[in-house]
Structure 1
Amino acid sequence: MSRLGVAVFWLLHWLPLAVLARLGEALGLLLHVFALPRRHVVDTNLKLCFPELDARQRRQLARRHFRTVGRSLLERGLLWWGSRERLERLVRIEGGDRVRALQAAGTPVILLAPHFVGLDMGGTRVTMDFDIVSVYARQKKNPVLDRWLYHGRSRFGDQLLLARQDGVRSSVKAMKAGRPFYYLPDMDYGRRDAIFVPFFGVPAATITGLPRLARVAGAAVLPCVTKMLPGGAGYVVEIGEAWSDFPSADVEADTLRMNEWIESVVRTMPEQYYWVHRRFKTRPVGEAKLY
């Protein structure tokens, strides 16, 4: 992203959300037409995960997905420059008292936040209520974008953003000090620290960090899902009840449980999951590439 692009985002963030949402959806439809490599990724993912849909239904779902992606792109300016009051009005958070109760009891907290298109909006809203720890992937090829992404994730409160290579120790230390961990473990990070467990029935390289971190830190795992609402209605961040009997003695079973839960939520709003990511890029030894 160039400085001109940042200036455009700044101008757009002054628009009412209803107008910004329509512009974002229009941008998404253009991306569906012209961003052919990403459309191929989305089409492949949907074919793998929704074999019960015919080609027309998957095409319609892909178009709806790109509309939400376009919205999430254009609405990012709200995270960078929107006032606290405006963001509190646009993004409602439910279940925050569950986090506070665990903090009061001295229990470390992991917020399990899957990659839905509203993820960053939800993350920024959480930082307005809690000082958290999260993992930040540097955008080394685009320092302008890197600067503003970092700004958006750290502008409220006292946030701790760690690089992935900082490892488990720093995350556990932060959780034990009372910071909820806004944790995003549902992408394909390669073979390191990953096992193959099904996601929509397809073997997916999945990191085992959730049960391992929960065990080492003695943390409660609370599901945290951000939903993009239609038009100008905003977003809602839903923080659910802590998972019971987690972690178990079986890391593979716990990792499968995570994937099954994410799948169950995706099925309630399939257009909002981050299908532009090559979730099945890493394959078991001997299997052909899917993209």
Structure 2
Amino acid sequence: MALSKATFLITALRLAGKLPLRGAQLIGRFLGMISWMSKSQYRTVTDINLKICLPELTDDQHDRMVRSSLRHTGQTLMEIPLMWEWPVERCLGLIHEIEGEELLAEAKKDGRGLLLLAPHLGNWELTGLYFSSRYRMAALYSPPHIREFEDYMIQVRGRMGSELVRGDRRGLARLITLLREGEVAGILPDQSPRGKGNAYAPFFDMEVRTMTLVSKLLQKSGAKPLVTYSERLKDGEGFRLVIRECEPGIADPDPVTATTALNKSIEDVVREVPEQYQWEYKRFRHRPPGLPHPYRPGRVCK
């Protein structure tokens, strides 16, 4: 059954990968509006997250932001097949502007490694493809539930030579080695980590479990951290790649100091284009024990 699911999924992705950008984005916006009109779980989670993170919005502004977020997430979903199936040169041709490129040159001039933090903002698949086309790069990933799909995912994401490593002990050791050698590594830093060894830090003023992996990698490798995202331009015109400095303290040995700086670095870029952030993700499901659970009214976090 797993093989048939993988075959179906890969075939669907390859068919969707034949779409032009405007067509894929149009379908994505349509899917987002269906999610809005059907009062889906994604709409509910987006509504909750935006009330937590952007309470200053008026009711009208809030509703528009929820709809816009759902449309952008739909577009991201439909853009992934293009990023995986289009020729690399065609994908990179969608980037019409790069802001902060001088930070890359500055970070690489002394031979230090570079740790790229790419939140779920805009089109993160295009961001990874751009950097893997320029540098010897490794990216952390979580294996998909469908085992046979993993080979396809590694193949398409690594077609510019990017090395995909699992988030286990061996994979993390590999990242540290590459960073110490002056290479580049990429991480999606805004996921809700499981298990012990992480810290609680504010994200949009709400305490939430946050990965300490970033600070540990920086401490062990001496790499330079930068935060980056690909902003979606209007009317299918492509993307703008943005590179920003991280907040001071992100490599601090104190886990709370480091994770607070990490979350602030993410928050700063999210506020630049909030409608393009993946608010549909339950980022606040792991809060300090005993505090109210944002997504389960009447229950507390454990």
* Cross-structure match for 1:114: 119
* Cross-structure match for 2:165: 162
Q: Alpha-carbon deviation of 1:35?
A: 6.8
Q: Alpha-carbon deviation of 1:269?
A: 0.9
* Cross-structure match for 1:30: 34
Identity across the alignment (%): 28
* Cross-structure match for 1:197: 201
Stretches of structure 2 that go unaligned for 5 or more consecutive residues are 296-302
The residue type equivalent to 1:252 in the other structure is: V
- C-alpha root-mean-square deviation of aligned residues, in Å? 2.4
2-11 or 39-48, which deviates more? 2-11
* Cross-structure match for 1:260: 264
- 3-state SS in 2 of match to 1:115: coil
Q: Alpha-carbon deviation of 1:15?
A: 3.2
| TM-score under structure 1 length normalisation | 0.89
Equivalent position to 2:78, from 55, 74, 79: 74
Matched, 1:123 2:128: yes
Q: Alpha-carbon deviation of 1:50?
A: 1.6
CA contact 2:203–2:264 (8 Å) conserved in 1: yes
Q: Alpha-carbon deviation of 1:100?
A: 5.0
- 3-state SS in 2 of match to 1:75: helix
Alignment coverage as a number of residue pairs:
289
Query: How far apart are the structure 1 equivalents of 2:76 and 2:88?
Result: 19
Q: After the TM superposition, which residues 233-272 of structure 1 pair with which residues of structure 2 at under 5 Å, given as runs?
A: 233-241=237-245, 247-272=251-276
102-111 or 64-73, which deviates more? 102-111
| TM-score under structure 2 length normalisation | 0.86
What's the CA shift string for 1:207-242, capped at 9, x where partnerless?
122222111101111222221112211122222357
What's the CA shift string for 1:145-185, capped at 9, x where partnerless?
5444323311112x221111135322111212332111222
Q: 1:245 to 1:195 in 2, by over 3 A?
A: closer
CA contact 2:226–2:243 (8 Å) conserved in 1: yes
Query: How far apart are the structure 2 equivalents of 1:27 and 1:145?
Result: 24
Q: After the TM superposition, which residues 131-170 of structure 1 pair with which residues of structure 2 at under 5 Å, given as runs?
A: 131-140=136-145, 142-143=146-147, 145-157=149-161, 159-166=162-169, 168-170=172-174
* Cross-structure match for 1:88: 92
Q: Alpha-carbon deviation of 1:122?
A: 1.1
* Cross-structure match for 1:46: 50
Stretches of structure 1 that go unaligned for 5 or more consecutive residues are none
